Amino acid sequence: MTTIELKRVANVIRQDIISMLVSAKSGHPGGSLSAADIVTTLFFNEMRVNPQDPKWADRDRFVLSKGHAAPVLYAALAEKGYFPKEELKGLRHTGHMLQGHPDMKKTPGVDMSTGSLGQGLSAANGMALASKLDGKDYRVFALLGDGEMAEGQIWEAAMAAAHYKLDNLIAILDYNGLQIDGKTDSVMSSAPLAQKWQAFCWHVIEVDGHDIDALLEAFAEAKTVKGRPTMIIAKTVKGKGISFMEDQAGWHGNAPSVEQGEQALKELREEAENLG
Amino acid sequence: MADKQATREAYGKALLSLGAENPNVVVLDADLSKSTKTADFGKKYPERFFNMGIAEANLLGTAAGLAAAGKIPFASTFAIFAVGRAFEQIRNSIAYPKLNVKIAATHSGISVGEDGGSHQAIEDVAIMRAVPNMVVLVPADGEETRQAIFAAANYYGPVYIRMGRLDVPLLFGEDYSFEIGKANILKEGTDVAIMANGLMVSMAMEAADDLAAEGINVSVVNVASVKPLDEETIVRIAKVTKAVVTAEEHNVIGGLGSAIAEVLAERQPTPMVRVGLKDTFGESGKPTELLEKYGLTKLELVKAVHEVLAKKQG
């Protein structure tokens, strides 16, 4: 896909996130919107997947370690054709397959159940080890949050991924700088993150997480790295794309009302028109 | 054949043959492979052995990822660290998605001995039993451990296998048959039943012999499969004996005794006495001295049988 095509898909995914959350009346818009360009680039350009065969043994894996951003994953999976878009309305509703946090048992295309922060990177490590053990060439992508950097297990997994030289593992940090209680730097400082991951012997790439071309370049660079895992630190804006949500911690875990949803969709449709 | 063997020893040996039989079996440890006995697998199959260092959360989380990609991981460390430190990884990364991880924990109970209370898991069965999708196995001897390990590998889903450090009597030969979800009646009597697992099974057999000399006819049931529990056998035996003693190297809260009490209370109310740790932590000491001090002996079982018989008659 071309850059402009990817931007259009990201716009559709953002619209679907808003519609889904309005229907669910709860959920996490901020961190879903901040990750929309990353997830779009992965699913529509970088990853080797087949929506007709979600369990294909040779597919690339995606682990949403920041599982509360489930809406962005669901929107991408639906857009990609893993399941009908109709399902998006069922998000967080009893008896429907789209759980509040990703559930690999219920949703086609979800490679790992996540939601409890800190656990996804370990699972991604396990998959990357299995890929090597089986002599396969599939890669594993894990999307992490910056609030999640406070979880000790992340650093256990960081150490292990480097120890086992998992160059088929690419982690992306959705560095939006906000978490539930406020700015990540004031809740629990995790900076300097690039230095920390470098010190854990990862190949680190810093990138603007809303610049599709820069993301494509970062993924291309990650592909060439041998002998160690790659961490792409993607600087993002929480709530990206919706004027009244951008950079507001309050939009971490609150769904927009019907009116707010309409306003958000209006902004996104305008953006879509500008994209042509 | 040696007359005693620690269940962890049997585990280490079972892994070697399992590894030869099934190339999908992988083993992870957290810097305790010499103690958990996974080290031999590591030597024989180094490409399928992953030492994760002293990092139990990542140990269990990585096992989950390997299972999600089709492997059959056996993740080993001491019971206290597997279930204690990594509980939520077990709960959310393994049990919730029903991934095919075998949590093979050693050094359970007070028979850990000298390392003391901090290292003696006495609540692990209760915790694992409460988690949906989890199978909980507590084998009694080497042969049962070997069969439990193979049974776990052949079953799809998470299994918690609880093993010990201490050498315990070998009870069973190759003709013995362990099945997930089945209790084994080792001795069928009519007056009282002792339902036990782990190292308490051999003590139950000895107690039954002593009680026979007193004219008391004891059933001994080995309940290695705590979950799923063989309710039919438990109810059937309780119907006959009308008195049940449970015996486990675990807190009396939440373990085998509780599981059996739940079944009997609902289906076959029966006088019971639970032998186990009386809601107390252990301490440092020689394993046999600790077992005595905390009431996990043949003599305590004999006492408990008299107690339950008094209830039955009362």
* B157 in reach of chain A (CB within 8 A): no
Contact A267, A242 (CB under 8 A): yes
Residue A276's pLDDT is 84
Task: Give the Cα separation of A92 and A25 in Å (integer).
Answer: 9
Tokens for B98? 């029903």
Q: Which residue of B has its CA nearest to A164?
A: B50
Q: What's the complex ipTM?
A: 0.96
Distance from CA of B26 to the nearest CA of A (A): 10
Which among A153, A164, A165, A166 is the top mutation candidate for probing chain B, defined by the most B β-carbons within 10 Å of its own β-carbon?
A153
- Condensed to tens digits (0 to 9), the pLDDT of residues A148-194 reads 999 999 999 999 999 999 999 999 999 999 999 999 999 999 999 99
* CB–CB contact A133 B92 (8 Å): no
Once rounded to an integer, what is the mean pLDDT over residues B88-106? 98
Distance from CA of B287 to the nearest CA of A (A): 33
Mind telling me the catalytic residues of B? 56
pLDDT at B1 over 50: no
Residue A101: its chain B contacts at CB < 8 A?
none
* A134 in reach of chain B (CB within 8 A): yes
pTM: 0.97
Residue A164: its chain B contacts at CB < 8 A?
50
- Condensed to tens digits (0 to 9), the pLDDT of residues A109-161 reads 999 999 999 999 999 999 999 999 999 999 999 999 999 999 999 999 999 99
Q: Which of residues 188-207 of A touch B (CB under 8 A)?
A: none
Which residue segments constitute the domains of chain B, with CATH numbers given?
4-169 (3.40.50.970), 184-313 (3.40.50.920)
Residue with tokens 């429907």: A96
Task: Give the Cα separation of B63 and B53 in Å (integer).
Answer: 14
Q: Which residue of B has its CA nearest to A129?
A: B66
pLDDT at B2 over 60: no
- Which of B55, B70, B97 faces A130 most closely, judged by CB atoms? B70
Task: Give the Cα separation of A272 and B288 in Å (integer).
Answer: 75
* CB–CB contact B69 A112 (8 Å): no
Residue B8's pLDDT is 98
Contact B59, B30 (CB under 8 A): yes
Which residue segments constitute the domains of chain A, with CATH numbers given?
3-275 (3.40.50.970)
Contact A117, A110 (CB under 8 A): no
DSSP assignment of A118-165, as one string?
Answer: T-HHHHHHHHHHHHHHTT----EEEEEESGGGG-HHHHHHHHHHHHTT
* A57 in reach of chain B (CB within 8 A): yes
In terms of Cα–Cα distance, which of A179, A165, A176 is closest to A238?
A: A176
